[in-house]
Amino acid sequence: MDYPDRFDVIVIGGGHAGTEAALASARTGCRTLLLTHNIETLGQMSCNPAIGGIGKSHLVKEIDALGGAMGLATDMAGIQFRVLNARKGPAVRATRAQADRVLYKAAIRGMLENQPNLTIFQQAAGDLIVDGNQVRGVTTETGIRFHSESVVLCTGTFLGGVIHIGMDNSRGGRAGDPPSNGLAERLRAQPFSVDRLKTGTPPRLDAKSVDFSQLDAQPGDDPTPVMSYMGGRDLHPRQVSCHIAHTNERTHEIIHANLDRSPMFSGTIDSVGPRYCPSIEDKVHRFADKNSHQIFVEPEGLETHELYPNGISTSLPFDVQLQVVRSIRGMENAHITRPGYAIEYDFFDPRDLKHSLETRHIDNLYFAGQINGTTGYEEAGAQGLLAGLNAARRARGLEAWWPRRDEAYLGVLVDDLITLGTREPYRMFTSRAEYRLLLREDNADMRLTEAGRELGLIDDQRWQTFSTKREAVEQETARLKSRWIQPGGEAAARVDELTGQPLKREYNLLELLRRPELGYRDVAGLAGEPVEDERVAEQVQIQAKYQGYIDRQQADIDKLKRHEATPLPADLDYQQVEGLSNEIRQKLIESRPETLAQASRISGVTPAAVSILLIHLKKRR
Ligand code: FAD
């Protein structure tokens, strides 16, 4: 049957990409349908119930700055919060939260159900309705036809999913869920480039069978960090500790002795897994000289005894998994509640996508999440938000929007994917961003919320909160700049005491704040009243301390923009350009771009390579 109501946007899949896509589309006012296998699994965390971490929290804060759900849901579900790299510079500082998976799902579901313009329907999508080269809607597996202007596909690991435990394998989208085979076949018939990737998960343990006195406790930070710009500690549930355990030589012996029973080593799985999140058998094999690996023993929630032993993801047979677990100190009597497994699934070459995440082969069709070769909830959510927004804009005849690489990690993520493609599950790192001093987790709202407001993603309450904060930062910065400390006075004596050096001339408070020994609370009260709001104080401090570096990075960006029209001589010998990778050199030789701008748009030519070309041209002159 044809469903009587027509939608602007249909989103398929209620995982992390799909929920952000549906919410973003509906927030802009488009009539949106979220079609998913099972309403009970909306926002389900397939693997570790944790959000954030290095590079990833940057994405969460960007999703949040654009009005998305992940940050707030984390504040409502987080049971242990930490700031990683707290002693390093603000560019690489990252918030990470262990979440209660039940609370997280409930938070996401609540936001979806309360979102105006959003309709949820439980059923598997079996096919796309395509007319010429344009998508027109979706047919469910039971034959209901939903019609729409655009469609966003967010099916995660479900397309052609195969689960492996030892030499046994079965079809599945993740443990306990069916795969999406009908849709996978239909998509394989389209002109997309399809390949396989794999990922894995550890066995889960019953906390009642673990001896915690043998493990190291790891409490969260105090004061507890907050994830969302709209969040607060008052949203957090009860906080608990995680623990740390270690593998040992006996663990490694067991793994070595059973490698031939691992589907990865016996050749049953030949697709590539996440390099930065390898299975324990992979770690033991690759780093044979190490006789111990760390395991973070993380609670799955407040009302359950299940534990997630982060670091022993495996597809070894169950009997070996049990031996491995029981070889670990504190786990000698551990009971496994669910076996670990690996899963192989279809993904589509993201080079077939535009920056808007619309496919090049079928108009009005968008892909987001693990289907594009990424791994991680945060990477999926960020893509989902962008795809949902652009699907909605397309439905209304508006131009697509995406952030540039110097504006957001989301810009880096999409640009990397669509220009370079990926051969292994792609995850975000701060090292992927060449402008990381500008793209900090503390300033995602300053970078994106205004754009989000113009795009229709930001409601009045968030806009008000953001505007008040931005104004307060500006006012406080101006105040610090206008307050002067003279040598010899009481305030100067305090500065001398803190820095160990006598003040030689008159300084304003902003200049003093740039000194490495002094923080906001040290200087702000030397003349006048400091602000109480920690977030305002933090922003004022970071901007003051890093202004020099930030200005330099901004100058680099401006320089690159100015030089975009620079011609590349027809006789330029790319073999002589030092510092280019062979892959990029080859591409430039083949395409022979006429200007730097053209070079920068060639798939795989990075901004760093454009800089190298610019320097080479200057040397030639
Ligand atoms: P998913 O979260 O997989 O959601 C897909 C959704 O689409 C589901 O709701 C599903 O029911 C629905 N769906 C699928 N097909 C259809 C259809 N035809 N019709 C209707 N609905 C459909 N990430 C890490 O960062 N680190 C890890 O260690 C890690 N390990 C993992 C281990 C395993 C075993 C798995 C399965 C995933 C792991 N991940 C890991 C990845 C992480 O779970 C995903 O990156 C993330 O969930 C992707 O989000 P998504 O929205 O793209 O897809």
> Quick one: 215 and 174 in the same domain?
no
Ligand 1 pocket, 311 CB below 6 A?
A: no
- Total number of residues shown for the chain: 621
Task: Answer whether residue 442 is part of any domain.
Answer: no
Tell the residue nearest (CA) to atom 3 of ligand 1.
156
State pLDDT tens for residues 32-41.
999 999 999 9
Ligand 1 pocket, 183 CB below 6 A?
A: yes
Ligand 1 pocket, 162 CB below 6 A?
A: no
Task: Say yes or no to pLDDT of 266 above 80.
Answer: no
User: Concatenated DSSP letters for 176-243?
Assistant: TB--BHHHHHHHHTTT--EEEEEEEEPPEEEGGGS-GGGSEEE---SSPP--STT--GGG------EE
pLDDT of residue 566: 87
pLDDT of residue 446: 96
Angle between the N-to-C axes of helices 56-65 and 444-454, in degrees from 0 to 180, rounded to the nearest 10: 40
pLDDT-derived band at 547, boundaries 50, 70, 90:
confident
Ligand 1 pocket mutation, candidates 42, 158, 159, 366, criterion most atoms within 8 A of CB: 158
> Quick one: 286 and 305 in the same domain?
yes
Task: Answer whether residue 436 is part of any domain.
Answer: no
State pLDDT tens for residues 284-333.
888 888 999 999 999 999 999 999 999 999 999 999 999 999 999 999 99
State pLDDT tens for residues 84-107.
998 888 888 999 999 999 999 999
> Quick one: 175 and 26 in the same domain?
yes
466: which 2 tokens?
A: 């953001």
> Quick one: 174 and 107 in the same domain?
yes
Containing structural domain, residue 313: 204-342
Ligand 1 pocket, 155 CB below 6 A?
A: yes
> Quick one: 231 and 333 in the same domain?
yes
Ligand 1 pocket, 19 CB below 6 A?
A: no
Ligand 1 pocket, 180 CB below 6 A?
A: yes
pLDDT of residue 79: 98
C-alpha distance from residue 62 to each of 15, 264, 414, 532 (Å): 18, 36, 14, 25
pLDDT of residue 603: 66
CATH number (domain holding residue 607): 1.10.150.570
Coil, strand or helix: which one is 118? Answer: strand
Q: Rounded mean pLDDT of 338-344?
A: 93
Q: Rounded mean pLDDT of 215-242?
A: 96
Task: Answer whether residue 73 is part of any domain.
Answer: no
CATH number (domain holding residue 237): 2.40.30.260
Residue 156 Cα: closest atom of ligand 1: 53
Task: Say yes or no to pLDDT of 398 above 70.
Answer: yes
Residue numbers belonging to the annotated binding site for FAD: 13-18
> Quick one: 487 and 539 in the same domain?
yes
Residue 370 Cα: closest atom of ligand 1: 52
Report how far ligand 1's centroid is from the alpha carbon of 600 (Å).
33
State residue 174 phi and psi, 5-degree precision. -170, 170
Ligand 1 pocket mutation, candidates 20, 298, 312, 370, criterion most atoms within 8 A of CB: 370
> Which residue type sits at 368?
A
| Residue where a domain terminates, one of 307, 322, 342 | 342
CATH number (domain holding residue 550): 1.10.10.1800
Calculate ∠ Cα 11-74-400, nearest 5°: 35
Task: Say yes or no to pLDDT of 580 above 80.
Answer: yes
Task: Answer whether residue 480 is part of any domain.
Answer: yes
Angle between the N-to-C axes of helices 70-77 and 377-395, in degrees from 0 to 180, rounded to the nearest 10: 140
pLDDT-derived band at 595, boundaries 50, 70, 90:
confident
A 10 A CB-CB count for 76 gives 23
Kind plus residue range of the DSSP H or E element containing 162: strand 162-165
pLDDT of residue 15: 97
State pLDDT tens for residues 4-41.
999 999 999 999 999 999 999 999 999 999 999 999 99
> Quick one: 322 and 216 in the same domain?
yes
Q: 392 with 28: CB under 8 angstroms?
A: yes
CATH number (domain holding residue 415): 3.50.50.60
| Residue where a domain terminates, one of 342, 372, 402 | 342
Ligand 1 pocket, 16 CB below 6 A?
A: yes
Kind plus residue range of the DSSP H or E element containing 472: helix 460-482
How far apart CA 502 and CA 494 sit, in angstroms, is: 10
> Looking at per-residue confidence, does 554 or 109 come out higher?
109
Tell the residue nearest (CA) to atom 22 of ligand 1.
13
Task: Answer whether residue 37 is part of any domain.
Answer: yes
pLDDT of residue 155: 95
Buried b (16+ CB within 10 A) or exposed e, 138-157: bbbeeebebbbbbbbbbbbb
Report how far ligand 1's centroid is from the alpha carbon of 583 (Å).
32
pLDDT of residue 554: 83
HEC assignment per residue over 15-62 = CHHHHHHHHHHHHCCCCEEEEECCHHHCCCCCCCCEEECCCHHHHHHH
> Quick one: 373 and 486 in the same domain?
no
| Residue where a domain terminates, one of 374, 406, 430 | 430
Task: Answer whether residue 224 is part of any domain.
Answer: yes
Residue 157 Cα: closest atom of ligand 1: 3
> Quick one: 606 and 518 in the same domain?
no
State pLDDT tens for residues 252-262.
999 999 998 88
Task: Answer whether residue 465 is part of any domain.
Answer: no
Angle between the N-to-C axes of helices 607-620 and 534-562, in degrees from 0 to 180, rounded to the nearest 10: 50
Of 451, 455, 450, which Cα lies nearest the Cα of 467?
Answer: 450
Q: 440 with 91: CB under 8 angstroms?
A: yes
Residue numbers belonging to the annotated binding site: 13-18, 273-287
Q: Rounded mean pLDDT of 594-618?
A: 82
Question: Any idea which residue has 């680099």 for tokens?
Answer: 556
> Quick one: 426 and 529 in the same domain?
no
Angle between the N-to-C axes of helices 409-420 and 56-65, in degrees from 0 to 180, rounded to the nearest 10: 110
Q: 297 with 245: CB under 8 angstroms?
A: yes
Task: Say yes or no to pLDDT of 230 above 70.
Answer: yes
Task: Answer whether residue 68 is part of any domain.
Answer: no
pLDDT-derived band at 485, boundaries 50, 70, 90:
very high
Task: Say yes or no to pLDDT of 172 above 90.
Answer: no
> Quick one: 173 and 226 in the same domain?
no
Q: How many domains does the chain fold into?
A: 4
C-alpha 305: how far from its chain's center?
A: 28
The reported pTM is 0.91
pLDDT of residue 381: 98
> Quick one: 116 and 139 in the same domain?
yes
Ligand 1 pocket, 99 CB below 6 A?
A: no
